[in-house]
Amino acid sequence: MCLAIPTKVVEKDGDRGIVEIGGVKKQIDLTLVPEAKIGDYVILHVGFALQVLDEEEAQKTLALFEELAHYNE
C-alpha cells in the first residue's frame, strides 16, 4: 500500500524543490514533474513528486486527511 500526499511547491531549483504541508517544509525531487512551478500542488511519495495536481483536488484530499486525523476524537 502506498500513501501519496498533496503538497505545495514553495521553492524550486531545477529538479529539486521545497514543498510545504501543515507548516512543515521538505526538500523533494521534481524530476518526474519538470512542469511543476512554485505555487503548484504535487503528489508526494517517498521524496518524489509524482504528478501536478490542481489546487481544488489537493484541498479536497487535504481536508479528508484532516477529517481522518480527528476521526476518533
- How is domain 5-69 classified at the architecture level of CATH? Roll (2.30)
pLDDT at 34 over 80: yes
Please report, for the chain, the start and end positions of each structural domain, with discontinuous segments joined by +: 5-69
Nearest Cα residue to 53 out of 21, 13, 26: 21
Question: Mind listing the pLDDT tens digit for each residue in 35-58?
Answer: 999 999 999 999 999 999 999 999
DSSP 8-state assignment for residue 32:
T
Look-up of cell digits 529539486: 16
pTM confidence score: 0.86
In the predicted structure, residue 71 carries a pLDDT above the cut 60:
yes
